[in-house]
Amino acid sequence: MTAVRQDAATGMSIGTVLDRLRPDFPDVTISKIRFLEAEGLISPERTPSGYRRFSIADCERLRFVLTAQRDQYLPLKVIKEQLEAIDQSAATVGAVDSAPRRPRTLAIAPGEVSPEEFRSDREVRISRDDLMDRAGIDAKFLSELLRSGLIVPGAAGFFDEDAVTLARTANSMSEFGLEVRHLRAFKLAADREAGLVAQIAGPVAKGRDAGARDRAEEMVRELAALSLTLHTCLVKAAVRGALDR
């Protein structure tokens, strides 16, 4: 019997798993594997005498966790959510009906930005003229916002309430001497944050159960709210002593 077949039939010891992972993850240790088990990311079987026996699936699960930590810097809580989505997807393949799971809710700091603020209102259709009128800007300023990508109209050419708020805010900032080109830094930072949120929620949205999309959308809203709160705190901390420099 080959080593691979023997591993599949009898399971692997924690030392064998360590040997399999170390070529790709030199820093992994037995203590690390035990910690991930304690956190519920893997559940190896136990022999009657209490020794762990890892399956090939357990080993691949560990590889998934370690890769997500190393390459995407994801916290264990998020990785566990992704694994649960994968498990749910596997469990429902071939099922005729699948009851939607209740969207997962992340804990947020009390009194901070609400995830509900990130729900999109697809019914709002604001014309170009209405946008300029409500935001108090002229056609030239709006053209600059559009050209810089700070405001993007919908497929039909209309705008939403967020576009009005953004245009009004940009106009107020221009009164302090900030031009639209200076605001590109905010756009780039927002794009990077959105990309990170997409990396986290994307695998959840791909789950095949009926509630996968709802869970992913809920996660996006809550992560966006947390991101905005974090951004606000960081800006406050950074500018607190700006006048003393």
Verify that 123 and 196 share a domain, yes or no: yes
Residues 56 and 116 placed together within one structural domain of the fold = no
- pTM beyond 0.75: no
Q: Cα–Cα distance between 149 and 155 in angstroms, integer?
A: 15
The tens digit of pLDDT for each residue in 130-145 reads: 999 999 999 999 999 9
Residue bearing tokens 């594997």:
33
Q: Give yes or no for a contact between 207 and 95, defined as CB atoms under 8 angstroms apart.
A: no
Tell whether the model's pLDDT for residue 185 goes beyond 80: yes
Tell me: do 158 and 236 sit in the same domain.
Answer: yes
Inside any domain, residue 98? no
Name the domain count of the chain. Answer: 2
Q: Is residue 97 part of a domain?
A: no
- 223 and 123 within one domain: yes
The answer to whether position 88 is within a domain reads: no
State whether 221 and 172 are in the same domain: yes
**According to the model, what pLDDT value does residue 111 have?**
43
* Residue 155: domain span: 104-245
Partners of 46 in the beta sheet?
Answer: 52
Confidence band of 4 (pLDDT split at 50, 70, 90): very low
Find out whether 124 and 161 touch, Cβ atoms under 8 Å.
yes
